[in-house]
Amino acid sequence: MAVYKEIESAVIHAGIYGDKYTRAVNVPIYQTSTFEQTGIQENPQWEYARSGNPTRAALEALISDLEKGYKGFAFASGMAAIAAVLTLFKSGDTILVSNNVYGGTFRILDKVFKNFDLNYVLVDTSSVDNIKENITDKVKAVYIETPTNPLMNITDIKAVSELAKSYGLLTIVDNTFMTPYLQRPIELGADIVVHSATKYLGGHSDLVAGLAVVNTKELADRMYFIQNSVGAVLGPFDSFLLIRGIKTLAVRLDRHASNALKIAEYLENHKAVTKVYYPGLKSFDGYELNSRQARNGGGMISFLLSDNYDYRKFFKSLNLIALAESLGGVESLVCHPATMTHASIPADIRAKIGIHDNLIRLSVGIENVDDLLLDIDNAIKASAK
């Protein structure tokens, strides 16, 4: 076993076990659905690949180590991981949910789990009092995202976890935007962390995957039962790709964040920009709180382009940054929340929660920041009315 203390080493070494046949430095891709057993009732470690696969198990050990949890679970997508976590609850239960969670999370609660009488109440979780006011006998968990997408609202993970614990509720954190390199919710008191590993953990926009980490054996046993029973497991090849992606998580995120800070500062000082949402900017509302619970502001920025500029033209004029859904890859992407990620929200509600038509979201990649700044600068100039 490799000996290390810090997360920059853990991303490379955690979960990796010595392959006893070849001493391979990397975890092999065990592309098999079943395993030969030595005899009946001999309780083999590996029997059928939905129940367990050595490549997936290495990834699950890796994410559990990084999040400082008890056990990790790998799923076919972020939504499959979130669905599995929601299956821990029963009909009649209610979950308090951050009022601007990922659209897919809202959709599965509203259109799938509600049919089974698992209910949700949307709350502004940036205030602990708002959460407290909504706690009833039926409430069993608080589900948060911080920072939120696309307006980067920050929720106090420690305060929410303490409140939840005092009422016997579970705290679930979607840590997709930050990753365990920047923020570790379980260390702050949360019970369950979920990830769309499609984003920063994979990091190369080349796979779809989800992870969940729980903090106790009791939750681990229940999650394992659900993972094995429902069966949306991550395949061996994608497990390998994700292990490979996570090895560079620390160096990638350092660059994502330093590029993002430079771009956020540039935008903040530009006359064409009326507001910048970036948790790493000192002038940003959630800066203090985010700095307390996360290493830095991460790689996601949103901003409002002034009415003197045509936001449609801005998108058309970018020549390096691609217009696309998703985030967290090495390449920079731009998205228009009002017509893309948040299109399903009615226009009046969108305007009320601040997702205006001139809101632009950037997933800042790890290119040379001067190339990114030049592209943004050119696109702003070209979009002047």
Ligand X SMILES: *Cc1c(COP(=O)(O)O)cnc(C)c1O
Closer to ligand X by CB, 105 or 179: give it: 105
Provide, rounded to whole angstroms, the least separation between the CB of residue 199 and ligand X.
Answer: 6
Q: Which two tokens stand for residue 245?
A: 């992606």
Out of 30, 73, 102, 106, the residue judged to bind ligand X by CB under 6 A: 102
CA atoms of 154 and 172, how far apart (whole Å): 15
Name the burial class of residue 344, with classes exposed (0-12), middle (13-18) and buried (19+) by CB atoms within 10 angstroms of its CB: exposed
Stretch near ligand X under the rule CB under 6 A, chosen from 29-37, 101-109, 217-225, 353-361: 101-109
Residues 56, 71, 140, 199: which is the catalytic one? 199
With contact defined as beta carbons under 8 Å apart, do 116 and 91 qualify? yes
Our finding on whether 298 is near ligand X (CB under 6 A) is: no
Site string for ligand X, 153-192 (x = CB under 6 A): ---------------------x-x----------------
Rg over CA atoms, the chain: 21
CA atoms of 381 and 316, how far apart (whole Å): 12
The site for ligand X, by CB under 6 A, has a size of 15
Task: Report residue 144 CA to chain centroid gap.
Answer: 11
**Main-chain dihedrals φ then ψ at residue 145, nearest 5 degrees:** -125, 135
Which residues 24-83 are close enough to bind ligand X by CB under 6 A? 77-79
Work out the end-to-end distance of the chain between its first and last CA atoms, rounded to an integer number of angstroms: 61
Out of 208, 232, 330, 382, the residue judged to bind ligand X by CB under 6 A: 208
Closer to ligand X by CB, 198 or 290: give it: 198
With contact defined as beta carbons under 8 Å apart, do 205 and 191 qualify? no
Closer to ligand X by CB, 4 or 237: give it: 237
**Main-chain dihedrals φ then ψ at residue 81, nearest 5 degrees:** -65, -45
Is 50 catalytic? The answer is yes
CA atoms of 14 and 115, how far apart (whole Å): 40
Closer to ligand X by CB, 104 or 354: give it: 104
Chain position carrying tokens 């997933």: 363
Which residues 122-151 are close enough to bind ligand X by CB under 6 A? 145, 149
Is 184 catalytic? The answer is no
Residues 174, 191, 238, 375: which is the catalytic one? 174
Provide, rounded to whole angstroms, the least separation between the CB of residue 2 and ligand X.
Answer: 29
Residues 50, 68, 165, 313: which is the catalytic one? 50
User: Minimal CB distance to ligand X: which residue?
Assistant: 78
**Beta strands 210-214; 192-196: pairing state:** antiparallel
Q: Which two tokens stand for residue 295?
A: 């290493």
Residues 30, 102, 181, 277: which is the catalytic one? 102
If one counts every other C-beta atom within 10 angstroms of the C-beta of residue 39, the result is 6
Provide, rounded to whole angstroms, the least separation between the CB of residue 79 and ligand X.
Answer: 4
Provide, rounded to whole angstroms, the least separation between the CB of residue 22 and ligand X.
Answer: 32
Q: Which two tokens stand for residue 267?
A: 């935008």
CA atoms of 173 and 191, how far apart (whole Å): 8
Is 307 catalytic? The answer is no
Site string for ligand X, 275-294 (x = CB under 6 A): --------------------
Closer to ligand X by CB, 15 or 78: give it: 78
Is 377 catalytic? The answer is no
The alpha-helical segments, DSSP class H, found in 97-216 are 103-107, 128-133, 157-166, 179-182
User: HSE on the CB side for 140, CA within 13 Å?
Assistant: 14
Picking from 16, 20, 21, the residue whose alpha carbon sits closest to that of residue 4 is 16
Out of 198, 239, 259, 302, the residue judged to bind ligand X by CB under 6 A: 198
Farthest-apart Cα atoms in the chain, separation: 77
Stretch near ligand X under the rule CB under 6 A, chosen from 193-201, 232-240, 295-303, 353-361: 193-201
Out of 199, 256, 295, 350, the residue judged to bind ligand X by CB under 6 A: 199
Provide, rounded to whole angstroms, the least separation between the CB of residue 198 and ligand X.
Answer: 4
- Catalytic positions: 50, 102, 174, 199
Residues that bind ligand X (CB under 6 A): 77-79, 102, 104-105, 145, 149, 174, 176, 196, 198-199, 208, 210
